[in-house]
Chains A and B, each alone.
Chain A
Amino acid sequence: MKSIIEIKDVNLTLGEGAARVHVLKNIHLTICAGETVGLLGPSGSGKSTLLMTLAGLERPDSGDIIINGNNLCDLTEDRLATFRGRHVGIVFQSFLLIPTMTALENVATPLEIAGRDDAYARAKEELTSVGLGDRLSHYPAQLSGGEQQRVAIARALAPEPLIVIADEPTGNLDSETGAAITDLIFKQQKKKQTTLILVTHDPNLAARCGRRVMLKSGLIAADDAR
Chain B
Amino acid sequence: MRGMLWRKTRFGLRYAWRDLSGDPRGFTIFILCIIIGVAALSCVSGLSFSLSQGLSQEGRVILGGDISLSLMSRQLTDDQRAFLTAHGKVSDVYVLRAMARRDNDDAAVIEIKAVDTTTYPSFGVVTLSPNLALADALKEINGVAGAAVDPLLLTRLNLKLGETIMIGNAKIELRAILENEPDKLAAGLGLGPRVLISLNALESSGLQTPGAIIRHLTRLTLDGPATNDDVKTLQYQLANIFPQAGWDIRSRDAISPQFTRNLDRFTQLLTLVALTALVAGGAGVANAVNAFVEKKHKQHAILKVLGLSGAHVFLIALTEILLASFVAIGCGLMIGALLPFIAAPALRQGTGLPFIQSFNSPGLAIGALYGLLVTCIFSFIPLGRIHETPVSCLLRDQPAFTKYFRYRSLTLIAVLFLLGLVINFAADLRLGLGFIFAVSLALGILFIASKLLMLAFRTLPHPKNPSLRLAFANIWRPKSLAPAILISIGLTQTLILTLIIVENSLHHELERADLGEIPNFYFLDVPKDKVNNFQDLLISQETSAHIQHAPMMRGRFIEIKGEAVERRAIADDAKWVLEGDRGITFSTTVPSNSKLIEGDWWPENYNGPPLVSLEKKTAEGFGLSLGDTIKVNVMGRLIVATVANFRKVDWRSYAINFVMVFSPNSFKTAPYNELFTISFDARSTDERNLKDANLTREIAKKFPSVVTIHVRETLASVDKIISQLALAARGATSIAILTAGLALASAILSSHRLRRYDAVILKIIGATRRWLTYAYGIEFTLLSIIASLIALLTAACAAYAMTKYLMKIDFIFPLLAVGGCMVVTIVATSTLGLMLTMRILSGSPARQLRNL
Contacts and interface: CB of A to CB of B under 8 A. Distances in A.
A84 interface: yes
Contacts of A59: 844
A199 B192 CA distance: 90
B767 interface: yes
B764 A82 contact: no
B765 A113 contact: yes
B668 interface: no
Contact of A58 (B464, B763, B765, B844): B844
A57 B766 contact: no
Interface in A62-109: 77-78, 81-82, 84-86, 90, 96-102, 105, 108-109
A122 interface: no
A109 B762 contact: yes
Contacts of A97: 761
Contacts of A113: 466, 762, 765-767, 771
Contacts of A85: 765-767
Nearest to A100: B473
A52 interface: yes
Nearest to B473: A100
A112 B775 CA distance: 13
B739 to A, nearest CB: 31
A124 interface: no
Contacts of B465: 112
Contacts of B464: 112, 120
Interface in B803-852: 844-847, 849
Contact of B469 (A57, A101, A155): A101
Interface residues of A, number: 31
Given A57-B846, A98-B762, A81 B466 contact: no
A61 to B, nearest CB: 12
Contacts of B763: 81
Interface in A140-180: 155, 159
Nearest to B758: A98
Contact of A98 (B761, B768, B769, B771): B761
B769 A78 contact: yes
Nearest to A96: B761
A117 B819 CA distance: 39
Contacts of B474: 100
A158 to B, nearest CB: 10
Contacts of A109: 466, 762, 765
B466 A57 contact: no
Listed residue (B462, B473, B758, B761) with the most chain A CB atoms within 10 angstroms of its CB:
B761
Listed residue (A90, A100, A110, A155) with the most chain B CB atoms within 10 angstroms of its CB:
A100
Contact of B477 (A81, A82, A100): A100
A85 B768 CA distance: 10
B845 A112 contact: no
B770 interface: yes
A137 B15 CA distance: 50
A84 B771 CA distance: 15
Contact of B765 (A49, A52, A84, A100): A84
A86 B758 contact: no
B770 A86 contact: no
A105 B462 contact: yes
A172 to B, nearest CB: 14
Nearest to B768: A78
B766 A114 contact: yes
A82 B462 contact: no
A116 to B, nearest CB: 11
A141 B758 CA distance: 15
B478 to A, nearest CB: 9
B454 to A, nearest CB: 12
Contacts of A98: 473, 758, 761-762
A82 B771 CA distance: 11
A57 B844 CA distance: 6
Listed residue (B465, B474, B765) with the most chain A CB atoms within 10 angstroms of its CB:
B765
Listed residue (A49, A86, A112, A120) with the most chain B CB atoms within 10 angstroms of its CB:
A112
B768 A82 contact: yes
Contacts of A99: 477
A96 B766 contact: no
Contacts of A96: 760-761, 764
Contact of A110 (B760, B765, B847): B765
B754 to A, nearest CB: 9
A112 B467 CA distance: 9
Contacts of A52: 846, 849
A78 B466 contact: no
Interface in B457-484: 462, 464-466, 469, 473-474, 476-477
A86 B766 contact: yes
Nearest to B477: A100
Listed residue (A59, A99, A120) with the most chain B CB atoms within 10 angstroms of its CB:
A99
A37 B849 CA distance: 23
A212 B322 CA distance: 59
Given A100-B473, A105-B462, A84 B844 contact: no
A165 B469 CA distance: 27
A108 B770 CA distance: 19
Contacts of B768: 78, 81-82
B764 A84 contact: yes
B682 to A, nearest CB: 66
A155 B767 CA distance: 14
Listed residue (B766, B769, B849) with the most chain A CB atoms within 10 angstroms of its CB:
B766
Contacts of A81: 763, 766-769
B846 to A, nearest CB: 4
A58 B767 CA distance: 16
A47 to B, nearest CB: 13
A55 B464 CA distance: 28
Interface in A8-54: 49, 52
Contacts of B469: 101, 105
A84 B764 CA distance: 7
Nearest to A58: B846
Interface string B720-753: 0000000000000000000000000000000000
A43 B768 CA distance: 32
B773 to A, nearest CB: 11
A142 to B, nearest CB: 15
Nearest to B761: A96
A97 B765 CA distance: 11
A120 B827 CA distance: 34
A102 B458 CA distance: 13
Contacts of B462: 101-102, 105
Nearest to A79: B768
B294 to A, nearest CB: 18
A119 to B, nearest CB: 8
Contacts of A102: 462
A34 B272 CA distance: 72
A109 B469 CA distance: 10
A136 to B, nearest CB: 12
A105 B762 CA distance: 12
A99 B101 CA distance: 83
Contacts of B765: 84-85, 90, 109-110, 113, 155
Nearest to B472: A100
Contacts of A101: 462, 469, 473
A123 B782 CA distance: 29
A155 B761 CA distance: 11
Nearest to A53: B846
Interface of B: 462, 464-466, 469, 473-474, 476-477, 758, 760-771, 844-847, 849
8 contacts: A57-B764, A58-B847, A59-B844, A90-B764, A96-B764, A101-B473, A105-B469, A113-B765
3 nearest CB pairs, A to B: A85-B766, A100-B473, A110-B765
Interface of A: 49, 52, 55, 57-59, 77-78, 81-82, 84-86, 90, 96-102, 105, 108-110, 112-114, 120, 155, 159
Given A100-B477, A105-B466, 11 more contacts: A49-B846, A57-B764, A57-B849, A78-B769, A81-B768, A81-B769, A84-B765, A97-B761, A100-B758, A108-B466, A110-B766
